[in-house]
Amino acid sequence: MIVRTLQDAEKTNRKIVSPDGNWDSTRMLLKDDNMGFSFHITTIYAGADFQMHYQNHLESVYCMSGEGEVETLADGVKYPITPGTLYILDKHDKHVLRATKEMKMACVFNPPLNGKEVHNAEGAYELEAETISE
């Protein structure tokens, strides 16, 4: 069994701060744990408004705190996000995420992230990326 705490993980290089200033993500469980998915605790900063398109991954995002919305760009539908909301990008949906208040999210990716991924110009993560060294 593997046991980790967010409090410990966010003091290490598992905590990735996005260069665009919109979010940080503590990657608590990664590809090299061999679970077939990765698990992250992500903070979306208040006022963030940015586009993503995970062409190489499926992602589920659960809101633990805060407030915002997610918009699917194919149809322009805006879904409010409050604590308890889970959104599931089951179709590699191109989407915009907006935070009216700072949001704490629990995120699961399939396939799992390697560790150091940040968004490319299209708002996707590449399948190959640097791992976390501890």
The residues binding ligand 9YT (CB under 6 A) are 23, 25, 40, 42, 52, 59, 61, 97, 105, 107
Minimum distance, C-beta of residue 109 to ligand 9YT, in the bound complex (Å) = 7
Minimum distance, C-beta of residue 40 to ligand 9YT, in the bound complex (Å) = 4
CB nearer ligand 9YT, residue 1 or residue 20: 20
Tokens of 20: 């665009």
User: In angstroms, rounded to a whole number, what is the distance separating the alpha carbons of residues 19 and 34?
Assistant: 28
Cis peptide leading into 112, omega within 30 of 0? no
CB nearer ligand 9YT, residue 11 or residue 115: 115
Phi-psi region of 92 (alpha: psi -120 to 50; beta: other; left: phi over 0): left
